[in-house]
Amino acid sequence: MADKQPYRIKTISEHNRILGLPKPEHPLISVIHLDRIKQKPESNLITHMVFDFYVISIRHMSGIKYKYGQQQYDFEDGVMFFLSPNQVFGIEVDENAIMENKGWSLLVHPDFLWNTSLANKIKQYEFFDYSVNEALFLSDKEEILLDGIVNNIEQEYHSNIDKFSKSIIISHLENLLSYSERFYNRQFITREKANLQILERLEQILLKYFNSDELIENGLPTVQYVADKLNISPKYLGSMLRVLTGQNAQQHIHTMMIEKAKEKLSTTTLSVSEIAYQLGFEHPQSFSRLFKAKTNLSPLEFRAGFS
């Protein structure tokens, strides 16, 4: 099954047909009420899909599990998640369970965003690229608020479409995304213990890397490398670090590198070139520029302070 290509769903109409739902009223934006899905997927089935449109969804489901990125979710408690076009989404059906659906999915084709304020801005919402530890767990109050926004979107495209309809829907969609961003930020804070454990693991990974030959052989670790080691997505790692430390992932890596450089400058007689090489820099000038940008001192000026 793992070797099979994901099934690509290109249009909202095709999506509805597969689920046994009526043709959407609007071809480019649609709200799907999950309790109206009567067509149960084939038992004991695992399917991987790729959509050509955005999916924003709150789901309370039993008898079915979703794999989003590398993380599997049991949706009985209800979570919110976000898919952008070309992300892989997996479904696993429990053949012995009675499937019950509650919640909604908002489907938005990129063509609907054309020539609007969201056309490029939507790509700036990092939660569309979270692929592990990424689902949003909402309070009842938060979920009710988002339900209201989605109902407004649905009512607007149900009404007679006029020249104001699209801008009104876009405004509601921007509100939905802004509140989602706020709630994600809240989740980083309320789940601080779990995130601090990730931060501790990050420090251990970087410390091991900086004390190994990998640094000389491969240069500074990339954000992707660190995220893979932590089994979380780079975007999620960056968002988490900004909340916990005020730095993004790249800045965090550079901070540890600078600390390692300071240690070598203050406790060894190695030349700046030798230190730069040990820290994975091919050109000493690149190391010196980065060191000065971070400390306002050149490496030699920093060392002179210990003379």
Please, are residues 146 and 138 in contact by the beta-carbon 8 Å criterion?
yes
Whether residue 47 is predicted with pLDDT greater than 60 in this model: the reply is yes
- Spell out the domains of the chain, with CATH numbers in brackets: 7-190 (2.60.120), 193-304 (1.10.10.60)
List, for residues 197-251, the tens digit of each pLDDT value.
888 899 999 999 988 888 888 888 999 999 989 888 888 899 889 888 888 999 9
Query: What's the confidence (pLDDT) of residue 291?
Result: 93
The residue-averaged pLDDT of 8-28 equals 90
For position 56, what pLDDT does the model report?
A: 94
pLDDT on residue 67: 59
Tokens of 97: 């369970």
Per-residue pLDDT tens for 74-96?
Answer: 444 567 888 889 887 776 666 65
The three-state secondary structure class of 106 is strand
Q: State residue 74's pLDDT score.
A: 44
Can you give the pLDDT at residue 62? 59
Lowest mean pLDDT, pick from 68-72, 116-120, 125-129, 275-279: 68-72
Least confident of 4-8, 67-71, 253-257, 278-282: 67-71
Q: pLDDT (tens digit, 9 = 90+) per residue, 99-142?
A: 567 889 999 999 999 999 899 899 889 888 776 456 788 888 99
Q: Choose between 42 and 24: higher pLDDT.
A: 24
| pTM for the model | 0.72
Contact in structure between 199 and 205 (CB atoms under 8 Å): no
Which helix (H) or strand (E) segment holds residue 202: the answer is helix 192-210
Predicted local distance difference test score (pLDDT) of residue 292: 93
Which pLDDT value is given to residue 198?
Answer: 85
Dist CA 25 CA 105 (whole Å): 15
Statement: residue 39 has pLDDT above 90: no
Helix axes 192-210, 249-267, angle to 10 degrees: 40
The pLDDT of residue 139: 86
Averaged pLDDT of the chain: 84
- pLDDT value at residue 44: 46
Q: Is the pLDDT of residue 70 over 60?
A: no
Q: Which two tokens stand for residue 176?
A: 């939905």
pLDDT at 42 over 50: no
Instruction: Check residue 92 and give its pLDDT.
Output: 67
Confidence of residue 43 (pLDDT cuts 50, 70, 90): very low
| Burial track 187-212 (b if 16+ CB lie within 10 A, e otherwise) | bbeeeeeebeebbeebeeebeebbee
Q: Over 50: is that where the pLDDT of 35 sits?
A: yes
